[in-house]
Amino acid sequence: MKIDLKSLNIEKVHNSFLTGEYTVKDLTEAYLGVIKEKNEVINAYLEVFYNDIDSQIEIADKMFKNGTATLMTGIPIAIKDNTLFEGHISSAGSKMLENYVATYDSFVVKKLKEEGAIILGRTNMDEFAMGSSTQTSAFGVTRNPYDITRVPGGSSGGPAAAVAGDMALASLGTETCGSVRQPASFCGLVGIKPTYGAVSRSGIIAMGSSLDQVGPMTKTVTDAEILYNTISGKDLLDSTSLTDEFKSTVEKSIFKKKIGVPRAFLNGGGINEEVLKNFEICCEKLKNAGYEIVDVVSDTMKYSLAVYYIIMPAEASTNLARYDGIRYGLSVDAPNLYDVYTKSKGKGFGKEVRRRLLLGAYILSHGFKEAYYRKALNVRDMIAKELLEIFEQVDVFITPTVPFPAFKLGEKMDDPLAMYMNDIFSAPANLTGVPAISIPSGITKEGLPLGLQITAPYLREDILFSIGKEFEKLV
């Protein structure tokens, strides 16, 4: 049966299941057909879980028959290659973990299984989530379905390309700094980074533990909200996971329909002209929809990227120290212990990962920890304090998601600093733990998607979804 995959959303699919228009198997096979047709070129999936899909469909069918089905039951979804799914390889896009088979389910996979979702497979990513283009994967680049000569963004480029290429209805990515929002922008999707602790990190291969977060990537804001509500919740295996009791104590401001624009932050240069023009059009549309657009002053936000690139490599170097050829990961035979360490890491880690690990070790070394790492933590606190002050004036603040549209494959690979500029608008939310969302906001003259980023106060995903749904109608 022919199903128009491009027109689907979660609620529409659910209603079609209920009316019998098509079955869970029909829909799943439709997505598998597109994967078979497109994946050789796009390289979104590293593995399709063919051996599990029939049993997952059977569970979903039973849930519809016994009346326990939810909106997520039977929904075909992709997960990122750093998300543990028991019995399946989770390699984090690295040769270091090429043969690692997960021995348990991550919290988010458990949640999806409980809802009867169909997990189609694991998708490509920048190695250990270190990258903004999905070009650092040990298993080949992923291409943008809008233009296969361009990147899909990263590090969650595989999950983004899977949804944008109609190879899944939704996906889960992870981000340490914009790795959900940036590929969502490049691929014309909605991507949300939840409040830190709202979604458990248990079973996610770590990069920077104070920054990492799992987030949905979908075609609509409503779908993102449904998926967020599915995967959020307290997890006893994650000490940073927030309880419902704690969430209820957080004071929620009155919705003022007031949106801030950090003009000084935007005037720092380096923003593509079409991106800037699109952003101003977005501001005007929101203003015409009844929102008050005001400039907000930010003295510390401009330091976010520099602070991030001190804290992140420091945390990554400690998290990845375990992959030494002895305790975890690839082990290369060598005549002595030192050579086992060096050869295993040299062969197991790619260039970008080695660069960041060396930088992190340097930052944390004697004599530099106080000068760099401690100072970065202090500035991080200053940024968080300033955001609190901004949110006293406005409901949210907005920026472009990324300073430029999707770039050509290979274009920035020899210039790490240019690549790191992808994260300039993403960093404040990750550093401070507040939620942010990217929503499709237009198309360039070359037909490339652009995104608007909305950042809200702590635990105010409800504001993001409310404004996001209204903004979708304006585009």
Strands, DSSP E only, in 81-169? Answer: 118-123
DSSP state letter for 194 = P
Distance CA 101, CA 92 (A): 11
Task: List helix spans (H) across 289-332.
Answer: 304-319
7, 90, 251 from 86: Cα distances, Å = 32, 9, 38
- Residue among 349, 360, 265, 355 nearest 308 (CA): 360
Distance CA 243, CA 222 (A): 24
- Residue among 468, 454, 466, 451 nearest 153 (CA): 451
Task: List helix spans (H) across 240-374.
Answer: 244-249, 263-266, 273-288, 304-319, 337-348, 351-363
Q: Classify the phi-psi angles of 459: left when phi > 0, otherwise alpha if psi is within -120 to 50, otherwise beta.
A: left
Cis peptide before 179 (omega within 30 of 0): no
The count of C-alpha atoms lying within 13 angstroms of the C-alpha of 365, restricted to the half-sphere facing its C-beta, is 7
Helix and strand numbers (H, E) in the chain are 17, 11
Hunting for tokens 């070394």 — which residue is that? 365
Cite the active site residues. 80, 155, 179
Distance CA 229, CA 198 (A): 10
